[in-house]
Structures are given as structure tokens and as C-alpha cells.
Amino acid sequence: MAATKALVKDYMTEKVDYIPAETSVEKAIEIFVKSTHHTFPVTRKGNLLGFITSKDLLANYKNPKKPVKEITQGKIMVARPELALDDAARVMFRSGLRQLPVVDDKGRLIGIVTNTDILRSHIERATPRKVDMVKNLLESKHGVKIRVKMYPVPLDKLRPTQTRIHADELQGRLYELKRGLAEPLIVVKRKNYFVLVDGHHRVIAAKELGIKEIMAHVLEPEQDIETGMEKAARDSGLLTLGDIKIIDDAQHPLIEITTKLVKKNET
């Protein structure tokens, strides 16, 4: 099974908010106030000139009619859509960048890739190495030979082995599925169903989107076996996808307490 390299174009956001070069400082301030962004790309006829920050505008607020092109930060790093996402990640990490604009051969802004996009691309990636690791572990423990195939499996035939998933990761999987980027699951074939080994976030995301089946690396033992993870799940009452709990880490009590302490110290 050959691994397919993820490319910048697969994960970049194509709809990018930008500010035209001739926009005045005054108007740009209004745009920033209404937005949640701290930086904006500046373009001239679609071509990327650079970036402007809220600090740039703050330093020039006494010149409200000045066009933003005169205070735009140029000489910025850009990526091409065919660049490997791992290479983009290295560039961003070494340069301390949170985002990387994507341009075409003519220098036109066509997208932007962020460190969040890169993080999402790596979470739950079902690599051939992971599949082989599960295969070898099961063969060793149960003394059976296992074939690995790839084909779609129906969601209503899946038995989970993970009691809970995280809300933020779930959003990432929803994002990927909507763009057709989800990695295959890893499942073990039983007589009448499939045991889900890896990909619980993807499965719940697919269920929420009304998707009926999803591609999977299917481990097919030469004889029907019950894995230890399946037995543990059954003993804990985990039988269907509906039994999986979605945990919102943002509501963790320690985070809430910390927030209250910060607010208290500010008053």
C-alpha cells in the first residue's frame, strides 16, 4: 500500500479574505474591527502584494487616507498548490509562521494554509505502517494469518472500541469529509460486522453528515476471532456508534476555573 502525499492544495482554504491595495487605512481599520482576523493579505488585481496587520494600522491611524499598499509588509513566504504539505509544515515551523499564502504561477492569491490545517492532516492518518502494526499484533496474539484489503464498509455494520471522542477533533474530521480528504479506517472483519480499530472521529463525522459507508483498510483473519479490544468494549457496554461519548475539552472544569481566576485578577 503506497502512501499518498498530502499536498497544500488538498488542505488550503480557497476562500480567502483580503484587502485591496488601494483601500485606505481608515477603511481597513473598519474591516479589521468587524473581523476576527489579526492579519489580512493585500492584493492588487488578484496578485498578492503582502500582508497587513492590526499593528501596522495602529501605527498609521493618524493618516486615515493613506492607501494600505504603502504600509504593506512585502517579501513574504508563499507556497505553490503542488507543494507537499509536510514541506509546507517544515517551512512554517522553522519560520514561526501561523499561515502561508498560496499563489499560482502568476502570483495570484488562490488560497491559504494554516498550522491548524496541517495539524488536521496528521491526526488519525491511517498509514501503511499503522495497518501493518495492527496486523502483526493480531497475527502474533491469535496465531492466525490475516489478509489486508481495502473497500468501503457500511457504518451500520461497525462495532466501536473507543468509548469517547473529542469535539475539536470531530470538527476536523467533518472539515476533511466535506472536502473528500478523509483517510481510510482500520477495521477487523467478523462474520456479520466489522470491529473499528482506528478512525472513530471519522466515523462519527460521517454519521453526522449522513454518509452510509466509508473506505477502510479491512483486516480479514483466516478464521473468525474476537480481539481483546472488542471484548473490552463489549464488557463496558460499548456496542454501537451511539454509545460513543463526545467530549468537549473546552468545557473541562480546570479550563473553566483558570478562566475565572484570570477574570478575577483582571477586576
Q: Does domain 8-121 have CATH number 3.10.580.10?
A: yes
Residue of 60, 73, 72 whose CA lies nearest to 25? 60
pLDDT in tens, 131-163: 988 999 999 989 999 999 999 999 999 999 999
How would CATH label the architecture of 125-251? Alpha-Beta Complex (3.90)
pTM of the model: 0.57
Domain ranges of the chain: 8-121, 125-251
Q: pLDDT tens digits for the chain (267 residues)?
A: 344 577 899 888 888 999 999 999 999 999 999 988 889 999 999 999 999 999 999 999 999 999 999 999 888 889 999 998 888 888 888 888 888 999 998 989 999 998 877 776 665 555 677 898 899 999 998 999 999 999 999 999 999 999 998 887 888 888 888 887 778 999 999 999 999 999 999 999 999 999 999 999 999 999 999 998 999 999 889 999 999 999 875 554 554 444 444 444 444
